[in-house]
Chain A
Amino acid sequence: MRQEGRQGDLTPRALGPALGHGIGLRREHYGHVLEHGVGDVDWLEIVSENFFAPGGRPWAVLERVRAERPVAMHGVSLCIGDTGPLREDYVARLLRLVERLEPAIVSDHLCWGGLGGAYAHDLLPLPYTEEALALVVDKVSTLQDRLGRRILLENVSSYLAFTASTLSEWDFLGEVARRADCGILLDVNNVVVSAKNHGFSPETYVDAIDPGRVGQLHLAGHTDHGHVVIDSHIGPVPEGVWALYRRVVARMGRVPTLVEWDEQIPAYEVVVAERARAAAIEAEVLDHG
């Protein structure tokens, strides 16, 4: 089993390859990809569970993509914060997918999502407590040993917080990564969404994250209803997210970056154009100060 990136220097390079700028592969774009190829993107990310089924057109598309570019796996149902042990059936399916696909990155979310074997199919927020921290660290360590590789955990958007929390979200995320020796998938949009919903500073959040732990960035759109901001992944990346992305790039350097677009999905070229803007901003910040 591969053990890449589990030892030594914790730079972004140690957390994974320098992938550049990619987009999320979505079903609405399968026809485009089969007909025209992946075009001007450096890499693509799949939702892991969408490929737990073993064949058919989704895999035909994925094999085409994989022949052209690196692929990352991003799960939504690991439910690492559920009390109780890891779900063995889920880990077995994840492991089969990792072995078949040999992805550049494996990631999921720092959240919980089920109870008693049932799934909510949602990314539910954790209380930021020592108990939750110990649980997540133990399960991440177990999973990394099972997979034989490091995973990245993503900060989620949230709409509520708990009185039981004794740590800030950014301290909790950093501690999970440090104690479990995993990486961070820093979702810049989620920081903006949660910051507005909970009244904290997004700059404080990203400035507190250890750049050496960050192996990937996510960018996406959200919907601001005034009293609450929803992580909708609708529309172009908002200007506030681009502004925070500039700050992250200035602080963390070149980190594999991905644009997500999951609702009212536009033509493939529109998503690729968002990816191009991310690449241009990174170049502007790093190459021209």
Chain B
Amino acid sequence: MAEPSELARLEARLFRLVAQPAPVDEAARALAAEDPGAHPLAAWIAGGDEARAVERLTIYANQYFVRHRDALGEIFAGCAAFAGQAAFDACVAAYLGVERLRGPSLDEAGDAFAAFLEREAGARGLRADLGSLAALERARREAFVGADAPPLRRDELARLPADDWPALRLALVPCARLVATSHAVEALWLAHDRGLGPPEVVARAGMLAVWRRGPSVYHRALAPDEASALARIEARAPFAEVCEPFDEPEHALELLAQWLADELLAAPIG
């Protein structure tokens, strides 16, 4: 394998020192053990001695943390509020220490944060329901900026011949998300939205639907049969399969009417 160029070597050093949560002087000592050319810093960072190089690198390292902390704090506002600022900051630092951020937008920096909280909340002494709350907050952000699409209208569906219904493949509007949760966090989200303290939340696996109607984002918990039916719609299964989870056909039709009213289904049908 070819030796990295001087530029590649320099960028790798700088990235290693600033895109991580540890103090720069500590990170520099760890780097020097693997890359002796990185020590002393003043040999490759101009304009002063070692202390000044650490000071200047620390500006970038601080920016790396603060920029991502602020972006995550905005997306996961409920998690930040219920974790407390110090614990949330520590959580973000740990997240940045293990996750490589693969999206060009800061909005994408939290793509793996819900899964991280689901794994780590307990070990960090945080509420066990924060992972589910983060998954809901993330889905709401995605729905807020998801693609626009006209919703399916009741009259479009009514024109469909009866014989075509079993093979009908409905679709969710592109901004809709089905979110698996380990805790029933709707009340937790609502408490944050209203500026209230956190309620007791039960550990119960479930599914939430999240979608946008006009400029407003909505979510609601799904019963198991509705969750299964919507998951089948998301997978573009034929309507006959969508109805399989229901004991009573009337219940399927009631929910279909609800989905149309919610604007969860996309036009055109096909």
User: Which of the residues B11, B64, B106 comes within 8 Å of A83, measured between beta carbons?
Assistant: B11
Interface contact B101-A119, CB-CB below 8 Å: yes
Which residues in chain A, 99-134, are within 8 Å of chain B measured between CB atoms?
112, 114-122, 124, 126-127, 129, 131-132
A56 to B100, CA, bound (A): 27
A164 at interface by CB-CB < 8 Å? yes
Residues of chain A at interface, number, CB under 8 A: 46
The DSSP consensus for interface residues of chain B is helix
Size bracket of the B interface:
35 or more
Given contacts A55-B145, A82-B11, contact A93 B104 (CB under 8 A): yes
Please list the residues of chain B having a beta carbon within 8 angstroms of any beta carbon in chain A. 4-8, 10-12, 14-15, 18-19, 43-47, 53, 55-57, 59-60, 63-64, 67-68, 71, 100-107, 109, 142-149, 174-175, 212, 215
Interface segment, A57-65, A204-212, A273-281? Answer: A57-65
Given contacts A117-B100, A118-B15, A163-B44, 8 further A-B contacts (CB under 8 A): A115-B19, A120-B18, A121-B67, A121-B71, A124-B18, A159-B59, A160-B56, A228-B59
A75–B143 Cα distance when bound, in Å, is: 23
CB within 8 A of B212: which of A56, A77, A159? A56
**Is A14 an interface residue, CB under 8 A from the partner?**
no
Task: Identify B147's interface contact among A55, A81, A199, CB under 8 A.
Answer: A55
- When C-beta atoms are compared, the residue in chain A nearest to B44 turns out to be A163
14 A-B residue pairs with CB within 8 Å: A52-B104, A52-B105, A53-B105, A53-B107, A55-B145, A55-B148, A55-B175, A57-B144, A77-B105, A82-B11, A83-B8, A119-B102, A121-B71, A124-B14
| Nearest neighbor of B4 in chain A, beta-carbon distance | A83
Known A118-B102, A122-B67, A131-B5: A56·B144 in contact at CB below 8 Å:
yes
| Contacting residue for B175 out of A56, A81, A135, CB 8 A | A56
Contact B15 A115 (CB under 8 A): yes
A260→B146 CA distance, assembly (Å): 27
B144 contacts across to A, CB distance below 8 A: 56-57
CB distance from B49 to the nearest CB of A (A): 13
Q: A56-B212, A60-B215, A129-B6 are in contact. Are A163 and B45 (CB under 8 A)?
A: yes
Could you tell me if A127 and B7 are in contact, using CB atoms closer than 8 angstroms? yes
Find chain B residues with CB under 8 A from A114 CB: 15
Q: How far is the CB of B124 from chain A (nearest CB, A)?
A: 23
Closest to A47 in B: B105
B56, B60, B105, B175, most chain A CB atoms within 10 A: B105
A165 within 8 A of B: yes
Residue ID in chain A nearest B59 by CB atoms: A159
Interface residues of A (CB under 8 A from B): 49-50, 52-60, 77, 81-83, 87, 90, 93, 112, 114-122, 124, 126-127, 129, 131-132, 135, 159-165, 198-199, 228, 230
- A50-B105, A83-B7, A119-B101 are contacts. A162–B46 as well, Cβ < 8 Å? yes
CA of A163 to CA of B102, assembled, Å: 30
Known contacts: A52-B104, A77-B105, A118-B19. The answer to whether A160 contacts B148 by CB under 8 A is no
Q: Contacting A127 at CB < 8 Å: which of B10, B15, B18, B100?
A: B10
What residues of chain B lie closer than 8 Å to A121, measured between beta carbons?
Answer: 64, 67-68, 71, 101, 106, 109
| A161-B63 Cα distance, complex, nearest whole Å | 17
Instruction: Report Cα–Cα, A160/B13, bound state, in Å.
Output: 14
- Chain A residues near B19 (CB-CB < 8 A): 115, 118, 120
Question: Which residues of A have CB within 8 Å of B44?
Answer: 162-164
B145, A58: Cβ atoms closer than 8 Å = yes
Question: What is the chain B residue whose CB lies nearest that of A228?
Answer: B59
For residue A175, give the distance in angstroms from its CB to the closest CB of chain B.
Answer: 16
Contacting residues, chain B, for A53 (C-beta < 8 A): 105, 107, 142, 145-146
CA distance A38 to B64 in the complex (A): 33
Decide: A56 and B101 in contact? CB cutoff 8 A.
no
How distant is A98 from chain B, measured CB to nearest CB, in Å? 15
Nearest 4 pairs between A and B by C-beta? Answer: A53-B145, A77-B104, A55-B148, A118-B100
Chain B residues positioned under 8 Å from A54 (CB to CB):
145-148, 174
* B18 CB contacts on chain A under 8 angstroms: 120, 122, 124
Whether A230 lies near B59 (C-beta < 8 A) is yes
B148 surroundings in chain A (CB, below 8 A)? 54-56, 59
